[in-house]
Amino acid sequence: MDRSRLQACLEQEQQRFVTRHPRSQQLYQEAQSHWLSGVPMHWMVKWAGAFPLFVDHASGAYFTDVDGLDYLDLCLGDTGAMTGHAPQATVNAIAQQIAHGITYMLPTEDVLWIGRELERRFGLPYWQLALTATDANRFAIRLARQITGRKYILVFNWCYHGTVDETFVTLDNGIATSRRGNIGPAVDPSITTRVIEFNDIPALEAALASGDVACVLAEPVMTNIGIVHPQAGFHDALREITRRTGTLLIIDETHTICTSPGGYTAAFNLEPDILTLGKPIAGGVPAAVYGFSAEVAERIRANLGIDRADTGGIGGTLAGNALSVAAMKATLEHVLTQATYDHTIPLAERWAAGVQSIIDEYHLPWHVTQLGCRAEYWFCEQAPQNGGEAVASMDDELDHYMHLAALNRGILLTPFHNMALIAPQTTSADIDFHTEVFSECVSQLFSESA
Ligand SMILES: Cc1ncc(COP(=O)(O)O)c(C=O)c1O
């Protein structure tokens, strides 16, 4: 592609962004005096544009920024708002609960319904609560280490499971190495973790053969380095090898819950020993769950003394608070339902078809991938089969341009890759609007007449 044309287009979009958002710019400048880099979370500076948009309000599939501009939200809080913003049933449950207290360090009756519902959806009988998917993964790993007495975990190259120390490791020429940007690690993660490429069954066999890996922690489809699907037979092999070697299998459904109400696990009959899920499960209110098989539960019971349960490295004063629990019950009962997926998955297909039609029109060496109500486009011809291939196909400058050009035309994409998530309130007109915007962004770069 013509890189100088891309740079000129990017420059133009950057100017347009600044001109259109004076209020966000002013707030960002004022925030410099009290917030590191002017933002409440340091990675927020990585959004496309010279500063992040400040949000005024959001509802359903849309939000409005402080400059009064409206957006179609295809990021949806990177899955935290996959339920749509402020889903009514969840808001009602929150309002009702909040008037009766927020956190007690005691259970409420809601957990009985939730436990039954989680078993119905995911097939695992025993559950615990956490506040974030990060914590659910951390706790699951601790339990796996405790009951197996093994010290290593195994993850896939370029996975992301939240800010979990053991997972910040990638392959560098085949060697497990601390991931770039890993901030102040307590220990070198190559000491705690084996890392292999996704879809590499021989590497999995070799890494687990020594019988010293407590658990494999995996997204069933990688979603954090772009969507990387498992090859045929991969999950069967993963389950068979982990069982044979006494390694626990933890499936992280935090993003792949986009596949069905029971995530990828239910849709593809996976049989994890432990399952973790956070983000949208309470409609965006901080909450997460982790569940285990009867056998794992029995091993935990046999291994953990209740007398030390409050200081054993698994906890959180606010985990299991009544507000999160009420929000979770309402979200599972009324929002993340089969009817919602029946609406959102066809729209993700429509989104992918729209993008594909423009790729075809311009004969671009790009392609589109979809998983449930999530889809994305890549700047390479063949779908990457693992994290290493995915990273090699990235083009940060082009990414930046596509995000900013979409934002300037009223669409927010998921940052760091070109992903769209569909909310229950998204309409086919919204999807066609995205196709139009995508077409215009591509035309600026490639059209002879532009
Ligand atoms: C698959 C997966 N697991 C866990 C997490 C961590 O979620 P949180 O940041 O809410 O703890 C993420 C975050 O992106 C994720 O994508």
Domains and CATH numbers, the chain: 3-82+338-446 (3.90.1150.10), 88-335 (3.40.640.10)
Residue 226 backbone zone (phi > 0: left; psi -120 to 50: alpha; other: beta): left
- Cα separation, 420 vs 78, in Å, equals 9
CB atoms within 10 A of CB 256: 25
Rounded to the nearest angstrom, the gap between the alpha carbon of residue 247 and the centroid of all alpha carbons in its chain is: 25
Amino acid, res. 170: T
Helix axis angle for 88-98 and 322-330, nearest 10°, is: 150
Query: What's the confidence (pLDDT) of residue 262?
Result: 98
Residue 36 CB contacts under 8 Å (≥ 6 apart), including other chains: 42
- Cα separation, 419 vs 369, in Å, equals 9
Amino acid, res. 130: A
Residue 115 CB contacts under 8 Å (≥ 6 apart), including other chains: 127
Tell whether ligand 1 has an atom less than 6 A from the beta carbon of residue 139.
Answer: no
Identify which of 279, 281, 416 to mutate to test ligand 1's pocket (most ligand atoms within 8 A of the CB): 279
Q: Ligand 1: which residue has its CA nearest to atom 9?
A: 162
Query: What's the confidence (pLDDT) of residue 450?
Result: 62
Tell whether ligand 1 has an atom less than 6 A from the beta carbon of residue 158.
Answer: no
Nearest to 138 by CA among 220, 56, 217: 217
For the entire predicted model, the pTM comes to 0.97
> pLDDT of the chain along its 450 residues, tens only?
899 999 999 999 999 999 999 999 999 999 999 999 999 998 898 888 999 999 999 999 999 999 999 999 999 999 999 999 999 999 999 999 999 999 999 999 999 999 999 999 999 999 999 999 999 999 999 999 999 999 999 999 999 999 999 999 999 999 999 999 999 999 999 999 999 999 999 999 999 999 999 999 999 999 999 999 999 999 999 999 999 999 999 999 999 999 999 999 999 999 999 999 999 999 999 999 999 999 999 999 998 876 777 778 898 999 999 999 999 999 999 999 999 999 999 999 999 999 999 999 999 999 999 999 999 999 999 999 999 999 999 999 999 999 999 999 999 999 888 999 999 999 999 999 999 999 999 999 998 876
What distance in angstroms lies between residue 332's CA and the mean position of ligand 1's atoms? 19
What distance in angstroms lies between residue 163's CA and the mean position of ligand 1's atoms? 8
Question: Residues, the chain, total?
Answer: 450
Query: What's the confidence (pLDDT) of residue 18?
Result: 98
Query: What's the confidence (pLDDT) of residue 312?
Result: 85
Tell whether ligand 1 has an atom less than 6 A from the beta carbon of residue 253.
Answer: no
What distance in angstroms lies between residue 127's CA and the mean position of ligand 1's atoms? 18
- Cα separation, 238 vs 339, in Å, equals 31
Tell whether ligand 1 has an atom less than 6 A from the beta carbon of residue 415.
Answer: no
What number does the ligand 1 atom closest to the CA of 286 have? 10
* Distances 371 to 67, 368, 393, 420 between C-alpha atoms, Å: 34, 11, 20, 10
Query: What's the confidence (pLDDT) of residue 424?
Result: 98
Instruction: Tell me if 344 sits within 8 A of 423, measured CB to CB.
Output: yes
- Cα separation, 324 vs 131, in Å, equals 8
Using H for helix, E for strand and C for coil, what is the string for the chain?
CCHHHHHHHHHHHHHHHHHHCHHHHHHHHHHCCCCHHHCCCHHHHHCCCCCCCCEEEEEECEEEECCCCEEEECCCHHHCCCCCECCHHHHHHHHHHHCCCCCCCCCCCHHHHHHHHHHHHHCCCEEEEECCHHHHHHHHHHHHHHHHCCCEEEEECCCCCCCCHHHCEEEECCEEEECCCCCCCCCCHHHCEEEECCCCHHHHHHHHCCCCEEEEEECCCECECECECCCCCHHHHHHHHHHHCCCEEEEECCCHHHCCCCHHHHHCCCCCCEEEECHHHHCCCCCEEEEECHHHHHHHHHHCCHHHHHHCCCCCCCCCCHHHHHHHHHHHHHHCCHHHHHHHHHHHHHHHHHHHHHHHHCCCCCEEEEECCEEEEECCCCCCCCHHHHHHCCCHHHHHHHHHHHHHCCEECECCCCEEECCCCCCHHHHHHHHHHHHHHHHHHHCCCC
